[in-house]
Structure 1
Amino acid sequence: MALAATATFAVSANAGSHNFVAADVNDPVTLRINIMQNVGAATGLVSGMMKGNVPFDPIAAQAALSTINTASLGLSGLFPSGMDENMRSTAGPAIWADADSFKSAIAKFIADTGAAKSSPPATVEELQAAFAIVGANCQSCHKAYRIKR
């Protein structure tokens, strides 16, 4: 059920993307790639607003935070055991070697993105404060669990 809901999000959220990969509800790697592309796009928008390269828009900022939170909710089901040797993604072996720590990192990401989403930023300063916590989650998880290909 969670995988099907995640697939729906991946397809609908990526419909306008130039890098769209057809989502197969039986392929967690493709779903994960699509979802993380959505997170990357949302993060890019937020980053642009925080740097002043994109005009701050509270509705767009809230949509970006909601996108990131929605993506976080489906992540835990997209790293099934046996996928640790898959060469199509940048998921590192530590995900499976230390699964409990990885699950804790996802739980923290869900909580922190949920908190950011539940307090819509009215100013760029509020967005910066909320995203400092969210961005720290992204950075720590990528450092511990992502590999370069």
Structure 2
Amino acid sequence: MTDKRPFRRLVLALAGAAVLAGPAIAQNLDAIKMRQQLMEDNGDATKAGGAILKGEAEFSAEKAQEIFSQMHDVAMKFGDYFPEDSKTGGKTEAAPAIWERPEEFDAALVKYQEDTQAALDAAPQDADAFKQAFGMVTQNCKGCHEDFRIDKD
């Protein structure tokens, strides 16, 4: 008969290591899901604005305010969802640069907040004014995606 104690010790040691490693690899999936939802909301607003620019949807001052309001709402909330424990998991597209260069990320976010507020304040009354404000706002999207997003396409 063989002694099974070494096997039991190994199983216990591995289980203990897994318990201790758990907190080290914890992922804040709630934060990841929230920022993904916010980006989806932002994408919806961007699509609506793009449809106006392409002539696929009619311009109205009310719709312009709705679009910029939605984008500004996202801008004001987005930065709250990047805790240290949300770097990986949940199919995140957040680039390591967010945590490696937080001052740059914060500055990009502040610029987006300011530009969406400026677009709201401008309250475009025609398609040309909307195009100008929308272009200013969406330039932020492009820059942030280039610097702080992993392209998984």
TM-score bracket, shorter-length normalisation:
0.7 to 0.9
1:62 corresponds to: 65
Task: In structure 1, give the amino acid aligned to 2:146.
Answer: K
The whole-number CA distance in structure 2 between the counterparts of 1:125 and 1:89 is 36
Q: CA deviation at 1:87?
A: 4.7
The whole-number CA distance in structure 2 between the counterparts of 1:91 and 1:67 is 21
1:75 corresponds to: 78
Q: CA deviation at 1:86?
A: 2.6
**Between structures 1 and 2, the one with greater helix share:** 2
Which structure is larger by alpha-carbon Rg, 1 or 2? 2
The whole-number CA distance in structure 2 between the counterparts of 1:70 and 1:147 is 23
Task: In structure 1, give the amino acid aligned to 2:114.
Answer: A
Q: TM-score, normalised by structure 1?
A: 0.79
- Can you list the C-alpha shifts for 1:100-129, whole angstroms capped at 9, x where unaligned? 100110011101111101111100100011
**Counterparts in 2 of 1:83-122, with a 5 A limit?**
83-122=86-125
Q: What value does the CA root-mean-square deviation take over the aligned residues? A: 1.2
**Counterparts in 2 of 1:8-87, with a 5 A limit?**
27-87=30-90
The whole-number CA distance in structure 1 between the counterparts of 2:82 and 2:108 is 13
Task: In structure 2, give the amino acid aligned to 1:110.
Answer: Q
| Higher RCO (C-alpha under 8 Å, 6+ residues apart) | 2
2:95 aligns to what SS in structure 1?
Answer: coil
Matched-pair contact (CA < 8 Å) for 2:32–2:90 = no
Q: TM-score, normalised by structure 2?
A: 0.77
Figure out how many residues of one structure are paired with residues of the other and give that number: 124
Following superposition, which runs of at least 4 residues in structure 1 exceed 6 angstroms of deviation? none
The whole-number CA distance in structure 1 between the counterparts of 2:89 and 2:80 is 16
Segments of structure 2 that go 5 or more residues without pairing to the other structure are 1-28
